[in-house]
Amino acid sequence: MTTTVPTIALNNGTSIPQLGFGVFRVDPERTAEIAGNALEVGYRHIDTAAGYHNEAGVGEAVRASGIAREQLWITTKLANGDQEHPEDAFQASLDALGFDYVDLYLIHWPLHEKGIFPQVWKSLISILESGRAKSIGVSNFQVEHLQRVIDETGVTPAVNQVELHVEFQQRELKAFHDQHGIATEAWYPLGGGSLSEAPVLERIAQAHGKSVAQVVLRWHMQVGNIAIPKSNHRERAAENLDIFDFELTADELSQIAGLDKGEGGRRGTHPLQMR
């Protein structure tokens, strides 16, 4: 099964599939199976991280799929504990995946108090220049972190992957991204179970004959986010991919915009609190 997923052009000339499949908190012992299911139902973008301890399973799933490596987009991330030796950590990720390159390599968290993220970013620039990462970016960076790496290196991250969902729409950060040509990628894009009980989303879902999750993911697509939902269940993974046969109206988009709670909608760790 294949589904044509739109792509987002990144600032270094590459293009990333706008909808991907995440493996955060996927059991390493089941990652090959679950990522393999995602590839079978049509995903071509898999997002992992050294800190998830399941890169090897992603690599195994890719090799078992029979899909040519160049048809896939694989992202992994530098673990917090490896920021002082990013080159070694990157090579360890390549070895775990069994690849000679990744499509996107991210600094997982800025670790604000440690304050070495600009130097870490310089290491990622070297990795990019070596060709072993086709694009580089960051995750959980705020405006001050992004501005500092741009000012100190002259190289703008291609992507910033952050918590983003309908109750936490990150408008100020997205405006900075848009101004500087940084793609916005959403982790936790469905925002948890409480969204399924939002009357606005229920009404929109009923109007389109879709689930609330499908409506939320469609919203991400139409506002220009990259989204990486996850599911351990093949059927749900397939459902999350089935969002390209309908379109939200301007009025529906406006209603969803009204669900934003600003900082009060954040569910995960604030980047300044991550140690």
- Catalytic positions, written as ranges: 52
Distance CA 15, CA 73 (A): 9
200-213 per-residue burial string, b: 16 or more CB within 10 A, e: under 16? bbeebbeebebbbb
Q: Tell me if 78 sits within 8 A of 117, measured CB to CB.
A: no
> Quick one: which of 154, 161, 106 has its CA closest to 134?
106
In the chain, the amino acid numbered 233 is H
Neighbours of 221 (CB within 10 A): 19
Strands 73-78 and 102-107, bridge-based pairing: parallel
DSSP 8-state secondary structure symbol assigned to residue 84: T
Distance CA 214, CA 210 (A): 6
> Quick one: which of 171, 170, 23 has its CA closest to 96?
23
Distance CA 97, CA 250 (A): 42
- Who's near 209: CB < 8 A, 6+ residues apart? none
Which tokens hold the place of 139? Answer: 């995750």
